[in-house]
Chains A and B, each alone.
Chain A
Amino acid sequence: MSKFAKIPLMIAGVGAGLFVGTFTMYMFNLDMKMMTLVAPLLEKWYDSREHDFYL
């Protein structure tokens, strides 16, 4: 098979891989589960910030 003939196959392969990866992430809610790990760290970060209170 020539190099050029492989290009569509490679594109299809990458596309299929991306689809499987993102669909798995979507279906099992992995994106949001990951965020539940990030949020407490961020909270500590925000707590450590100095506040310029004004009333």
Chain B
Amino acid sequence: MSNMKTVEVVYNTRERAGEKSPGKIYSEKLKVRRRREWRGLKDTLFDYSRWCYLMFGVLGKFILNPRNVKGFLRYRWMMSYLFVPHGMDKFTIGLRDEALRITHYAMNYVIADVTQAIHNCFRGDRRVGNDVAYSEKCCITDENSMVPFVMGFDKEKMHTILREVPTMFASNIFHQFNVMHYLDVAQQNGIPGDVCPMPEAEAGVSMDDDFCVLGACAVQNNTTCDGSLMGNGIIAKRLEKQYGIPTYQLATPLRHQEEDVIDYAVEQIKGAIAFIEEHTGEKWEWPVYFEAARRVNVATRCRNAQLEINSTPYPQFFGAVFSLYNDTNYMGNAGRDPYFEVLDKKLLKLAEQGYKEKRMYAKEYRHRAIVWGVQPQYVIDMLYWMVQCWGVVPLVDMLSVINKDMIAETDTPENREQAFRDMAMLNMQMIMRNHTHGGYKVLVDELWDLCEKMNADVVMMWEHMSCKALNGMHGMFEEQGRERGIHIMWVNHDLCDPRVFTRSAIRDQVNRYMRTVMREEPLDPSLEHIPDDEAY
């Protein structure tokens, strides 16, 4: 222990407004919280105003459309969206001031974006809205797909539908049990239980006939692992053979750090664009592309600035919402929605203000952690719990460590060629693939660089037990972490299946490490054991 790195403890000089121990609002009997947190008058009213916005401005507006009611009753995964406000509460535990505002503004827009995606799915769905003219201008893509190959299509004319995001990815955040049905369907049909439950659940949704069916074509991507290839195969077969939706396989090189793969990656992007043009009848427009590229650069600059703030003693924007916001903005949006530019700047302004005021999420920051590996969807509030309960600040997570470089944003003949290389680079370095593939340098070496740059003394290592890509490096992390004096806190989980590791089983791994290795007591004992295993 004496050789282990330590960081200076940072104390919060401000007393937290409202209640001090949010642990008492959890309930063993109810499947949701007993009540909402009292955050002092100002912050409670702000939280209430955002609740009103979600309830009436987003969800209420959505359900007033009869087509959406029909879709709601047709698809099992829609049940998760009954619990959106409960999901939002998971992210705001103990938050006040700028942190509360950043979390709400970022996550509320992610929720609004997913709601719009569901609305679009139902509009074109052959079984719900059956708007044929709309559907013929849609291209559906994977949940894990980076979408630079649609940056040059006018989004009012050609609609990109990330069909798996509302169906599986987001729905699991709001309702921890809702994916289990699809896992069971997949396993009843012979898919082994040890593949990643995310693509497995998506395959289960397809088998169970629970995907919306729309689109003139689809683009699938070899995203991150054997599981995603398996899932894509099953989904593509149904799309093509039963629904007659032609599907393009965007085969992206995995060794994305090697210069010699770029020509092949460019050919793949060009192929996807030509395929979409052929099937939707819409044309690629360079002014549209370069405007989107400019917005991608704004997002990159803002994200780099947020990470810069997080490397100081007063980090401002971190946790699952930072990750989910980046997922949505960087990967699902890729510069196409102008509002993200406004929001990026607003969030950065709030973070700068919080930094100036030395705002903190908890009363002490004892450890600074890099979060590596993939977070479980069903315990999405874990990082907020960790900082509130133990004072371990999650400075950044692996999924948010993405492209830091600018791409060409001016429309010139040379830049049109460069644009294909940029799109190929963005696609190869999509969230997940950029670290889980590309060799040990991006998975292992880059972690130590980050620890150095962000002055971290702990790596919280999510060990997703079905993720072979990461588990293969277990020994290397252990050995190199020991050499550098960095604490490696392993936390096992099974991504989407709470039957394998429950929420409390996951948190107990941190509790044990903090008590036995760090020899510390919790900052807030009311949070050490919270009875939410049965909660949504």
* CA distance in complex: A35, B51 (Å): 15
- Which DSSP category, helix, strand, loop or mixed, fits chain B's interface? helix
Minimum distance in angstroms from B200 CB to a CB of chain A: 13
Do residues A26 and B79 form an inter-chain contact, with CB atoms below 8 A? no
Q: Per-residue 0/1 for B180-197: is the Cβ within 8 Å of any A Cβ (1 yes, 0 no)? A: 000001000110000000
* CB of A46 within 8 Å of the partner chain: yes
Do residues A27 and B238 form an inter-chain contact, with CB atoms below 8 A? no
Contact flag A33-B209 (CB < 8 Å), given A26-B48, A39-B79? no
Q: Which residues of B contact A52 (CB under 8 A)?
A: 209
* CB of A2 within 8 Å of the partner chain: no
8 A Cβ contacts from B64-106 to A: 73-74, 76, 79, 82-83, 85-86
Interface residues contributed by chain B, number (CB under 8 Å)? 32
Do residues B209 and A54 form an inter-chain contact, with CB atoms below 8 A? yes
8 A Cβ contacts from A1-41 to B: 22-23, 26-29, 31-33, 35-36, 38-39
**B81 closest partner in A (C-beta):** A35
**A30 closest partner in B (C-beta):** B35
Contact of A46 among B51, B76, B206, B234 (CB under 8 A): B76
Do residues A42 and B208 form an inter-chain contact, with CB atoms below 8 A? no
Do residues B189 and A53 form an inter-chain contact, with CB atoms below 8 A? yes
* CA distance in complex: A51, B238 (Å): 14
Q: Which residues of A contact B76 (CB under 8 A)?
A: 46
Minimum distance in angstroms from A15 CB to a CB of chain B: 13
* CA distance in complex: A43, B30 (Å): 18
Q: Which residues of B contact A (CB under 8 A)?
A: 30-36, 38, 44, 48, 51-52, 55, 73-74, 76, 79, 82-83, 85-86, 185, 189-190, 206-209, 234, 238, 242, 536
User: Can you sample 21 A-B contacts with CB below 8 Å?
Assistant: A26-B48, A27-B48, A29-B34, A29-B35, A29-B36, A31-B85, A32-B86, A33-B30, A35-B83, A36-B32, A39-B536, A42-B82, A46-B79, A51-B209, A52-B209, A53-B185, A53-B189, A53-B208, A54-B242, A55-B189, A55-B234
Question: Nearest 8 pairs between A and B by C-beta?
Answer: A32-B32, A46-B76, A52-B209, A35-B82, A32-B86, A36-B31, A28-B35, A26-B51
